[in-house]
Amino acid sequence: MKKIHQYALSAFAALCLIVSSAPAQAQVPAQQVQVDGIIAKVDNHVILRSDLEFGYLQYLTQSKQQPSEELKCQVFSSLLQDKLLLARAEIDSITVEDGMVASELDDRINYLASQVGGTERLEQYYNKSLRQLKDELRKTVREQLLMERMQREITSKVAVTPKEIKKYFNNIPKDSLPYFSTEVEIGQIVNIAEIGREQKQEARQKLEELRKRIVAGEDFATLAKQYSQDPGSAQDGGVLGFFKKKELVPEYEAAALRLEPGGISNVIESQFGFHLIQLIERRGQEFNTRHILIKPATATVDIAAASAELDSVRNLIMSDSLTFAQAAKEHSDDTNTKDNGGMLTSRATGTTYIPMDQVDPAIFFVIDTLEVGEISRPVAYTTPDGKDAVRILYLKSKTQPHLANLTDDYQKIANAALAERRSKAVNEWFKKNISTVYIEVDPEYQDCSGLQQLTQ
């Protein structure tokens, strides 16, 4: 069976719940929307008609294929398999940690924010606070991480040999070989500008004054709306909502959990700035707080200092005192790349090879001036979460457009061969385990060819 796997929709997965309530221009036209309802059950998990329609439209948009009932059936079968993974994860007691979910949520929100021009633009576009967006995404993210973990359990022992990779490539018809456009490998080392002592003191003093006003009787929520620089909670009077332990930064959580309901913290500092916290309520292992956030202003001198530091790092690399990968690990402030040799990865493929037409424009105009192996001078930019920073960029490699071949594209071909082998292993697992869960399918979809192949 040719399965449309959940990761084929990866470019849209992070948006799944958000887009369903995005502004009108992003909505499916009303005439395309059918009456919603349950069309399949897998143990405690259900597939709604809207899930299928939305997934189907996503895949059509991404793959640019023509609409067909067969394609819709394949999407439905893929959703059914996803629910089977989740059901078996429950049976096998497979879990994901809350901290992993929180980290993935932050990464996805930061990515989305980077695509629209920052967190404030993201909130404006969807007309929701960051807290609301995270609340809506949390269940989807947890389920996706569970499915990924189950996939890893199933395919952990699957491998391909060089002989099998060569055979896989030779079996591709010559007129079907993929054509690769120009791709680049780009590394970065990031230095986030340090906040000066004077700016920190000003921010702390402002919060100290607000604390005195609250203790004297003014309303915390009213002052949060007026002064808090957290766009995700200010409009709600600073309320963050319920969180479990380890879902918020340690400094914030520690201060909040020392409070009694209604209590006000002292001014505390975290990576986001300075906070004044009020504990609203505890509920089992969860707690609800409101806060006022003040971010110290970043002075120009701090950017200059960050640039000078990166210039020194660049000189060490160019004099062969450090490799770029070592320098990234020791000096970069970007947690997403520092342990990966500083290399950026493609969200579509997960590899370090990025097609030129997918390179961030801010990076493109820098690397376009570099020769392979060169490192740029420090360049100022704003991180996805709104921090002032500088970075140096490294052009590791650049390929010319070409037909796929084993010499230039061995790793890609190896990945494709491994993916095919894993897909077969997963399909075999489905056939063996489909009878271990309760499945009910709406009669409208019982004749889907994909479903029939899945159950054979």
Establish if 35 belongs to a structural domain. Answer: yes
Name the helix (H) or strand (E) containing 86.
Answer: helix 69-91
**Domain match, 270 and 354 both:** no
Say what percent of the chain tops pLDDT 70: 89
Phi-psi region of 71 (alpha: psi -120 to 50; beta: other; left: phi over 0): alpha
**Domain match, 149 and 222 both:** no
User: pLDDT tens digits for 392-408?
Assistant: 999 999 988 999 999 98
Asked whether 71 and 62 are in contact (CB, 8 A), the reply is no
**Domain match, 249 and 120 both:** no
pLDDT tier at 26 (50, 70, 90 boundaries)?
Answer: very low
**Whether pLDDT at 22 is above 70:** no
* Structural domain boundaries enclosing 333: 179-194+299-402
pLDDT tier at 165 (50, 70, 90 boundaries)?
Answer: very high
Helices marked H in 297-409: 300-318, 324-331, 361-367
DSSP-assigned states of every residue in 17-73: HHHTTS-GGGSPPGGGPPPP-EEEEETTEEEEHHHHHHHHHHHHHHH-PPP-HHHHH
Asked whether 92 and 441 are in contact (CB, 8 A), the reply is no
Residue 422 sits in a domain whose CATH number is 1.10.4030.10
User: What average pLDDT does the structure give for the chain?
Assistant: 85
pLDDT of residue 69: 86
Establish if 249 belongs to a structural domain. Answer: yes
| Better-predicted residue by pLDDT, 320 or 114 | 320
Establish if 231 belongs to a structural domain. Answer: yes
State the average pLDDT over residues 152-176. 94
pLDDT of residue 299: 54
User: pLDDT tens digits for 341-369?
Assistant: 999 998 777 789 899 888 988 899 999 99
**Whether pLDDT at 391 is above 80:** yes
Is 0.75 surpassed by the pTM of this model?
no
- Residue 269 CA to residue 199 CA, distance in Å, equals 13
Residue 387 sits in a domain whose CATH number is 3.10.50.40
Amino acid at 68: S
- Residue 193 CA to residue 232 CA, distance in Å, equals 23
Asked whether 377 and 172 are in contact (CB, 8 A), the reply is no
User: pLDDT tens digits for 130-144?
Assistant: 778 888 889 999 999
- Kindly give the interhelix angle for 98-116 and 119-126, rounded to the nearest 10 degrees: 90
Q: What is the SS3 assignment for 314?
A: helix
Final residue before a domain boundary, out of 251, 271, 294: 294
Say what percent of the chain tops pLDDT 90: 48
Q: Kindly report which listed range (51-60, 363-372, 382-391) carries the lowest average pLDDT score.
A: 382-391
Residue 137 structure tokens: 């995404």
Final residue before a domain boundary, out of 294, 313, 347: 294
**Domain match, 334 and 186 both:** yes
Residues in the chain, total:
456
CA 147 vs CA 69, 77, 151: distances in Å: 26, 15, 6
**Domain match, 353 and 416 both:** no
**Domain match, 245 and 334 both:** no
Q: What is the SS3 assignment for 194?
A: coil
**Domain match, 35 and 152 both:** yes
Establish if 173 belongs to a structural domain. Answer: no
pLDDT of residue 453: 57
User: pLDDT tens digits for 266-308?
Assistant: 999 988 889 999 999 999 889 999 999 998 875 555 788 889 9
pLDDT of residue 5: 38
**Whether pLDDT at 423 is above 70:** yes
State the average pLDDT over residues 250-254. 92
**Domain match, 56 and 76 both:** yes
Task: Calculate the dihedral angle through the C-alpha atoms of 40, 44, 48, 52, rounding to the nearest 10 degrees.
Answer: -70
Output phi, psi for 447, to 5 deg: -95, 10
State the average pLDDT over residues 300-325. 89
pLDDT tier at 12 (50, 70, 90 boundaries)?
Answer: very low
**Whether pLDDT at 109 is above 80:** yes
User: pLDDT tens digits for 192-215?
Assistant: 887 777 788 889 999 999 999 999
**Domain match, 21 and 100 both:** yes
**Domain match, 189 and 323 both:** yes
**Domain match, 60 and 151 both:** yes
- Residue 9 CA to residue 20 CA, distance in Å, equals 15
Burial 101-120 (b: 16+ CB within 10 A, else e): bbbbbeebbbebbbeeebbe
Final residue before a domain boundary, out of 294, 309, 344: 294
CA 134 vs CA 247, 347, 384, 418: distances in Å: 12, 20, 16, 34
Look at the chain and report how many structural domains it folds into: 3
**Domain match, 243 and 289 both:** yes
Amino acid at 153: E
Establish if 17 belongs to a structural domain. Answer: yes
Asked whether 115 and 362 are in contact (CB, 8 A), the reply is no
Which residue reads 């002052």 in tokens? 223
Establish if 1 belongs to a structural domain. Answer: no
Establish if 172 belongs to a structural domain. Answer: no
Task: Calculate the dihedral angle through the C-alpha atoms of 82, 85, 89, 95, rounding to the nearest 10 degrees.
Answer: -50
Establish if 128 belongs to a structural domain. Answer: yes
DSSP-assigned states of every residue in 212-251: HHHHTT--HHHHHHHH---TTTGGGTTEEEEEETTSS-HH
